[in-house]
Amino acid sequence: MPFDPRSPSPVERLQQELPALDPAGRLALLRRSVEGPIVFTTSLGLEDQAIAHLIFTAGLAIEVATLDTGRLFPETYALWAETEARYGRRIRAFYPRQEAVEALVADQGIDGFYHAIEARKACCHVRKVEPLGRALKGASAWVTGLRAEQSAHRGGLELATWDQGHGLIKVSPLFDWSREAVAAFVEREGVPVNPLHARGFPSIGCAPCTRAVAPGEPERAGRWWWESEGRDGAGSECGLHLTPDGRLVRAARGAPR
Ligand code: SF4
């Protein structure tokens, strides 16, 4: 029986029922349980490709969307095209507002994000956070490729949470999977993946803000590495999964009434 996603009970119910299922079952249960649009945002990374494969092959009515910041790797654009051709499904693109990008570059320069963390956050806001808000507008649930062990900053992640900032259910069907398990899955299923993974890029974002990592480094150490060096080396976060006041969206046991 479908339920109202604004009620606290759906999150609690999903928190109870999802852990026993595999990712395909989790996505299917989410789709059956929630009325209204569900959006999966992909950055075409390893985890996201696994989830896109599950959505496309099962024919689930979940919109697959991506945020094209304009600064992605050529390999990412090529994978985007390859994925659409492989599955015969369109990945919906959301772009930054033209006037906002023009104002940003006029203010801080084309690569101003290297010079101050405030400039970097401003760039991520214009190119990612604001478009994400439009991608999720009107959605009842948001599917992400987050995994708990990707970063120490994600320790509070749960498989299903109420995202207070966006006012929807947030489900991360791979949250308890290891990177090795995801890699084995995509290998077994023949899922197209970004060739940069094999060149030392476990986590792939915008080209100027992502470097390869050395063996043994944390997965996200190559993201905004100039900020994380000398801190915890675990990599920064772009703000997509933070609350407006800068904290991670911690697990909420229920939605506010
Ligand atoms: Fe800008 Fe870098 Fe953030 Fe991409 S990752 S939006 S280029 S600061």
Domains of the chain, residue spans:
8-194
C-beta of 126 in contact with ligand 1 (< 6 A): no
Annotated binding site for [4Fe-4S] cluster: 123-124, 206, 209
67 ligand 1 Cβ < 6 A: no
- Average the pLDDT over each of 27-31, 82-86, 152-156 and give the range with the smallest value: 152-156
User: Against a cut of 0.90, is the pTM above it?
Assistant: no
Distance, in Å, from the CA atom of 45 to the CA atom of 193, rounded to the nearest integer, reads: 7
76 ligand 1 Cβ < 6 A: no
Is the CB of residue 238 below 6 angstroms from any atom belonging to ligand 1?
A: yes
Ligand 1 mutation pick, 66, 73, 124, max ligand atoms within 8 A of CB? 124
* Cα(19)–Cα(159) distance, integer angstroms: 8
Question: What Å distances lie between residue 21 and 29, 64, 102, 198, 222, CA to CA?
Answer: 9, 22, 46, 30, 32
Helix (H) or strand (E) run with residue 171 in it: strand 168-171
Q: How would you label 118-128 residue by residue, b for 16+ Cβ within 10 Å and e otherwise?
A: ebbbbbbbbbb
Q: What is the mean pLDDT of residues 6-11?
A: 69
**Average pLDDT, integer, range 25-51:** 97
Q: What pLDDT does 252 receive?
A: 29
Quote the pLDDT of residue 257: 21
pLDDT at 160: 96
* Residue 249 pLDDT exceeds 50: no
In the predicted structure, residue 256 carries a pLDDT above the cut 90: no
Decide whether any atom of ligand 1 lies within 6 Å of the 223 Cβ. Answer: no
Residue 144 is a catalytic residue: no
Residue 218: pLDDT over 80: yes
Distance from residue 158's CA to the centre of ligand 1 (Å): 26
At residue 2, the pLDDT reads: 54
pLDDT reported for residue 157: 72
Confidence of residue 254 (pLDDT cuts 50, 70, 90): very low
Query: Nearest C-alpha to atom 1 of ligand 1 is from which residue?
Result: 123
The pLDDT value given to residue 243: 46
**Percent of the chain scored above 90 by pLDDT?**
77
114: pLDDT strictly greater than 70 = yes
**Confidence band of 119 (pLDDT split at 50, 70, 90):** very high
What atom of ligand 1 comes closest to residue 205's alpha carbon?
5
Q: Which CATH class is domain 8-194?
A: alpha beta
Sequence letter at residue 18: L
Interface pTM, i.e. ipTM: 1.00
Q: Which of 39, 54, 238, 249 is catalytic?
A: 238
Res. 253 pLDDT band, cuts 50 70 90: very low
How confident is the model over 53-106, as pLDDT tens digits? Answer: 999 999 999 999 999 999 999 999 999 999 999 999 999 999 999 999 999 999
Average pLDDT over residues 153-177: 88
Residue 84: half-sphere exposure toward Cβ, Cα within 13 Å: 12
Look at 212 and 10; give whichever has higher pLDDT.
212
Tens digits of residue pLDDT in 224-239: 999 975 455 555 667 7
User: Comparing 28-37, 134-143, 223-232, which segment has the lowest mean pLDDT?
Assistant: 223-232
Interval 160-174 mean pLDDT: 95
Does residue 10 contact residue 169 with C-beta atoms inside 8 Å?
A: yes
